[in-house]
Amino acid sequence: MKTIRTPDEMATLLAPPSGDAPMAHVVTPGAIDVTHGTILYLEDVSVSFDGFRALNSLSLTLDAGELRCVIGPNGAGKTTMMDVITGRTRPDHGRVFLGQTLDLTRMDEPAIARAGIGRKFQKPTVFEQHPVWENLELAMKTDKRWHATLRARLTRDAAASIEETLATIGLAQQAWRPAGELSHGQKQRLEIGMLLMQQPALLLLDEPAAGMTDDETMALAALLDRLRGTCSMIVVEHDMEFVAALAGAHGRVTVMAEGRVLAQGTLDEVKRDEAVVESYLGR
């Protein structure tokens, strides 16, 4: 069983070494209209694979700045939902909007990424030969031609932004180590840092704690806690103690099953929901 730590304990796990390092500079790009307080709308979304409904009239909204945990049994459609949001899979039916105005069903994957949606897959993909610092540098929004970036002199702003991100992801001490030498948990945090360099408005994380040790899992929870409010997040996860650490007493948790929302509420509320107990927790 994993140890649940208090928020204070989690915060100290990832506290920057200098004590007063600034938070990562993550801002919502102006193009996303969140005047109604909602950053993501999924309405009546269906996706079929050879007649099988992976998403079955799924409706879900996410508040700007919210960290939403999504749980549910294998095959519930959680990853498919992320595929739809990122443009990897086209829905057969339904509406998917980023803010009030951006219709994600009409945008391709690169356009959706540029609009401010970052996605973390389960397996970390970092440049193993390059130091941690350079991985963050390569991920910066300003210059995708990374061969040129490597040779170019960094502006002071860019360097400051990398320093901030290093502090946020708790890897300031590892800045000049090749990424290939990092532990699995550190690589996962580095990859999140690389996504942060793109200043996403919405981060999608699919089972980010999978394969992590207890300490790595809680360091990840602390990292996501630090990002709270700077970008909106959807975290799909099976590890219930990790979910408990992220959701706290008041965070909203969505339970998916059979391609739709089965229940939604605080973790305590959904844990008490009979349908949830039957289809998921009671297994």
Which residues sit at the interface with ligand ATP, rule CB under 6 A?
Answer: 49, 54, 72, 74-80
Quick check: 205 and 196 in contact, CB under 8 A? no
The entry of ligand ATP, Mg ion, none that residue 76 binds, CB within 5 to 8 Å by partner kind: ligand ATP
Tokens 């941690």: give the residue: 132
Which residues sit at the interface with Mg ion, rule CB under 5 A?
Answer: 78-79
What is the rounded CA–CA span in Å between residue 142 and residue 160? 14
In the bound state with ligand ATP, the residue whose beta carbon lies nearer, of 22 and 52, is 52
What is the rounded CA–CA span in Å between residue 272 and residue 98? 32
C-beta of 29: minimal distance to ligand ATP in Å? 28
C-beta of 277: minimal distance to ligand ATP in Å? 18
The entry of ligand ATP, Mg ion, none that residue 211 binds, CB within 5 to 8 Å by partner kind: none
In the bound state with ligand ATP, the residue whose beta carbon lies nearer, of 76 and 267, is 76
In the bound state with ligand ATP, the residue whose beta carbon lies nearer, of 6 and 74, is 74
What is the rounded CA–CA span in Å between residue 262 and residue 273? 9
C-beta of 60: minimal distance to Mg ion in Å? 16
DSSP 208-271: TTTT--HHHHHHHHHHHHHHBTTBEEEEE-S-HHHHHHHHTTT--EEEEETTEEEEEE-HHHHH
What is the rounded CA–CA span in Å between residue 63 and residue 61? 7
In the bound state with Mg ion, the residue whose beta carbon lies nearer, of 193 and 208, is 208
C-beta of 47: minimal distance to ligand ATP in Å? 8
